C-alpha cells in the first residue's frame, strides 16, 4: 500500500537539510549524554536498561529491549554485563516460563538513582540553551516527524518512494 500524501515544495528549509541538522544536533547531544553516563562507569545501553527499571520497575528482557531500541542480542548482552556487575538479576516470569524478568539489585537501584540524578543535571546543562516553551515545541515537532516517518515505513513496507 502506498501512502497518498501531497508533497509540497518547501518554502523554507529543504527536508534533506533538516535531516542533516537533526542528525548533527542529535550526535552532539548524544555525546554529552555518553560523557555523563561513562563518568559513572556505565555504557549507554547499560544505563538505558537501568533507567527503564528505575522508572518502570521489573520488566521482561524483551520489553526492555523494545523500550531502549536494542535488538534481542544486544539487550541480552547488556543485561549480561549488568548481571556480571551484580546490578540486576533475572528471575523466571511466573506467567510465561520462557520469559525472564529483570530487576535491579539493591546496589543497582542505588547506582541508577544516583546516576540518573547526575545525568538529568548534565542534560539540563546541555539543553539550557532552549527555553521551556522551545523544549515543548521541539518535543512536539520531533514526535510529529517521527510518527510520520514510522507511518511511511509501515505504509511502504520499508520500500523507498520511486
User: Mind listing the pLDDT tens digit for each residue in 140-150?
Assistant: 999 999 999 99
For 89, phi and psi rounded to 5 degrees? -140, 150
Element (H, E) at 7: none
User: Whole-angstrom Cα distance, residue 77 to residue 43?
Assistant: 12
91 close to 133: Cβ distance less than 8 angstroms: no
Q: Output the DSSP codes for 70-95.
A: --HHHHHHHHHHHHHTTSEEEEEETT
In this structure, is residue 39 part of a structural domain?
A: no
In this structure, is residue 109 part of a structural domain?
A: yes
In this structure, is residue 116 part of a structural domain?
A: yes
In this structure, is residue 119 part of a structural domain?
A: yes
Question: What is the total count of domains within the chain?
Answer: 1
Structure confidence at residue 162 as a pLDDT band (50, 70, 90):
very low
CATH number of the CATH domain containing 111: 1.10.10.10
User: Any residues with CB less than 8 A from the CB of 143 and at least 6 apart, and which?
Assistant: none
In this structure, is residue 14 part of a structural domain?
A: no
In this structure, is residue 118 part of a structural domain?
A: yes
For 76, the domain range is 46-143
pLDDT tens digits for range 10-65: 678 899 999 999 999 999 999 999 998 998 888 999 999 999 999 999 999 999 99
In this structure, is residue 64 part of a structural domain?
A: yes
In this structure, is residue 111 part of a structural domain?
A: yes
Distances (CA, A) of 101 to 12, 28, 45: 49, 34, 17
Amino acid at each position: 500500500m502506498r501512502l497518498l500524501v501531497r508533497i509540497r515544495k518547501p518554502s523554507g528549509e529543504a527536508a534533506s537539510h533538516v535531516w542533516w541538522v537533526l542528525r548533527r544536533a542529535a550526535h552532539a547531544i548524544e555525546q554529552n549524554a555518553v560523557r555523563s553516563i561513562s563518568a559513572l562507569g556505565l555504557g549507554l545501553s547499560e544505563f538505558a536498561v537501568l533507567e527503564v527499571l528505575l522508572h518502570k520497575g521489573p520488566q521482561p528482557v524483551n520489553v526492555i529491549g523494545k523500550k531502549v531500541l536494542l535488538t534481542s542480542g544486544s539487550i541480552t548482552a547488556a543485561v549480561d554485563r549488568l548481571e556480571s556487575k551484580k546490578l540486576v538479576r533475572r528471575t523466571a516470569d511466573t506467567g510465561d516460563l520462557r520469559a525472564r524478568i529483570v530487576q535491579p539489585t539493591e546496589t543497582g537501584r542505588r547506582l541508577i538513582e544516583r546516576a540518573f540524578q547526575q545525568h538529568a543535571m548534565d542534560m539540563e546543562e546541555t539543553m539550557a540553551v532552549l527555553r521551556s516553551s522551545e523544549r515543548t515545541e521541539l518535543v512536539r515537532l520531533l514526535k510529529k516527524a517521527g510518527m510520520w516517518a514510522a507511518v511511511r515505513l509501515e505504509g511502504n513496507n520499508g520500500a523507498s518512494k520511486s
